[in-house]
Amino acid sequence: MSARTVKLVEIAERVLVDNDQVATGVRSRLEAAGVLAVNIIAGPGAGKTSLISRMLAALGGRARVGVIEGDISGSVDTARVLAAGAADAVQINTGGNCHLEADMIERALADLDLSALDLLFIENVGNLVCPTHWRLGEHVKLCLVGASEGDDKPLKYPEIFAVSDVVVLNKIDLIEFVDFDHARFVESVRALNRNAPIFEVSCRSDAGIDALAGWLQAQRKRLGEDFQCASR
């Protein structure tokens, strides 16, 4: 049993190294075009597509936003974000794969005009485990959870909270109807990740949406300055 398991891990690690090389190439292409990429990771139904739709409205004319939608099957989310104002969108159907990989993003970029974009949201497959260590070339790894899913998600899925650049708690309009210990949630995120800002939003009421949009704009600005320094 153990020999087989080790073999699988070795191959998984080799794939991860290859993935990171592709991810580095993707990131170079994004930076050459001045596009900030945000990898959104969440379990099923936490509100990834709703968050992107709200960000599109909040950013309005301030940023040209593209979206890559990752799903096992279907294209309903791509239709949703285009209707919500995305400048462009590409659907990736993973055909059963539980996470996106960098080569999928590389292929999706062929269908996007990066010179016409400032910001790219990448909606990962709904899964709080498997996408964690697959770099896609993103600048920001955004971990999204819903209050109605409980305050114990950092305890149960610690790795994604530990490696994320920003944590977003969605569905705060439902907190009064569910058992959610706010202090416990914040403390357990902080125990895993001292630096990531925590935003609290409701994609239904719009609460907190502008603050998150402003933070993303600041990341874009900071990255733009980095681009300029690098190209001097």
Residues in touch with a second copy (CB under 8 A):
1, 4, 7-8, 11-12, 14-15, 18, 43-46, 71-74, 76, 96, 98, 103, 125-130, 145-146, 148-150, 152-153, 155-159, 171, 173-174, 177-179, 204
d(CA 51, CA 168): 10
Closest to a second copy by CB, 127 vs 164, is 127
Residue 192 Cβ vs a second copy, minimum distance, rounded to whole Å:
11
Residue 41 Cβ vs a second copy, minimum distance, rounded to whole Å:
11
Closest to a second copy by CB, 118 vs 124, is 124
3-class state of residue 100 by DSSP: coil
Closest to a second copy by CB, 39 vs 148, is 148
Residue 10's contacts (CB-CB under 8 Å, 6 or more residues apart) are none
Burial 184-210 (b: 16+ CB within 10 A, else e): ebbebbeebbeebeebbbbbeeeebbe
- Contact yes or no for 22/103 (Cβ under 8 A): yes
H-only helix segments in 33-181: 48-59, 76-83, 102-109, 153-156, 158-163
Closest to a second copy by CB, 29 vs 184, is 184
Closest to a second copy by CB, 20 vs 224, is 20
Closest to a second copy by CB, 177 vs 222, is 177
Residue 228 Cβ vs a second copy, minimum distance, rounded to whole Å:
34
Residue 194 Cβ vs a second copy, minimum distance, rounded to whole Å:
19
Residue 179 φ then ψ, to 5°: -85, 105
Which one, of 68, 107, 67, lies nearest residue 87 by Cα? 67
Q: What are the residues facing 167 on neighbouring strands? A: 143, 198
Residue 173 Cβ vs a second copy, minimum distance, rounded to whole Å:
7
Residue 206 Cβ vs a second copy, minimum distance, rounded to whole Å:
14
